[in-house]
Amino acid sequence: MEQILQTTYLWLKAGHVIFVIFWMAGLFMLPRYYVYHQESEPGSAEEARWIDREAKLRKIILTPSIIAVWLFGIALATTMDLWSQPWLHAKLLFVLGLSGYHGWLAAYGKKLARGERTLSGKQLRLLNEIPGLAAAVIVVLVIVRPF
């Protein structure tokens, strides 16, 4: 039984890490796409291409990845009975924040597609730092487990 649990844990962990990488890649790419989108001429063919690229990135990479990250993460925490660990609570707080950021990015993309350009390229470039900072904190919480 212990061998089965250990093998299951390793597969769950591998799946979680793989989809975290995909999700983070998408979270880094999407704000950059928005910068290029905003720099394109409104109503141009280039703008239409950016709208299509953004939608595909959300549909093909970001949405499936966030779902898989949550499913694998919940399965890992349950399999290893980690729900009472303070470091996991802190990690979940940051993952919830990233999930909210993901949702905000998706909503902003829909605004852009409607022609609403409410942020500057500089603001989008600064927002692009959020996933990197969150990832650094999450990695420390998971690896170091400071509390």
pLDDT digits (tens, 9 = 90+) for 98-111: 999 999 999 999 99
Give me the domain span that covers residue 62: 2-143
pLDDT digits (tens, 9 = 90+) for 26-52: 999 999 999 999 999 999 999 999 999
**What tokens does 61 get?**
């990479």
**Count of domains in the chain?**
1
Instruction: Give, for 144, the enclosing helix (H) or strand (E).
Output: none
* 102 assigned to a ligand binding site: no
Q: Which stretches of 40-129 are DSSP H helices?
A: 45-56, 63-79, 86-113, 121-127
pTM summary value: 0.93
